[in-house]
Structure 1
């Protein structure tokens, strides 16, 4: 894979994962009024994502079909790893502190975090 996805490319890529195989027009219409992007903007982003290696483009007559060629889970995992190594200097504690302070964690989330910590204490 090539470079990381931009924030706008994540919007497009998430739709591509959701839809599977789709045309630029289908992605453009799925974005809809949420964003005021022109059709050509969406097409350009799709082509950039192809160059980065996350999508494959298949010609079908005058249409181009775009299909994810990398699993969403892998790309998300790589993005998280990159964030941690770049921004968090590989430290998790500041992230959890920020999440706990910036939003109210419910009991289920707290128990889930405790369970993760307990599982990793033994390692």
Structure 2
């Protein structure tokens, strides 16, 4: 049986976002960035979240002078892919089209994005058409 990828709660995701933005950070640097964004966490909270992320293999750390420096080992794109897949499985019975329909009906797109969506749908439709025999 395949091992399931680790879950990433929102609090851990907030810390990962800091690492993606900065490239790397100590606990103190991450805490400062999070506080500037309105999070009122303690040093111990951020240290615990980074430790959990490291245990899950989603960040790695190097000891640099007195502080550990943390770097993400997972990309933001991979986290998005996993979270959307989970959302589709849990809320849309594994049917991504249902999620797309919900998003299109409830979240208006700007004209440029709408055109991109239309182009993707046209390409998908064209790829699924049977070839004419001549």
* TM score, norm. by length of structure 2: 0.81
Equivalence for 2:61: 57
More displaced stretch, 67-76 vs 15-24 = 67-76
Tell me by how many angstroms 1:7 deviates. Answer: 0.8
Equivalence for 1:78: 82
Q: Name the structure, 1 or 2, with higher relative contact order (CA <8 Å, separation 6+).
A: 1
Tell me by how many angstroms 1:11 deviates. Answer: 0.8
1:57–1:66 Cα contact (<8 Å) kept: yes
1:2–1:53 Cα contact (<8 Å) kept: no
Distance in 2 between residues matched to 1:99 and 1:77, nearest whole Å = 16
Where structure 2 has 5 or more consecutive residues not aligned to the other structure, the ranges are: 129-134
Where structure 1 has 5 or more consecutive residues not aligned to the other structure, the ranges are: none
Superposed CA deviations along residues 58-85 of structure 1, whole A, max 9, x for unmatched, are 1223211101112222222222222222
- 1:22 aligns to what SS in structure 2? coil
Distance in 1 between residues matched to 2:81 and 2:101, nearest whole Å = 21
Distance in 1 between residues matched to 2:68 and 2:91, nearest whole Å = 37
Larger Cα-atom Rg: 2
- Aligned residue among 93, 111, 117 for 1:89: 93
* TM score, norm. by length of structure 1: 0.88
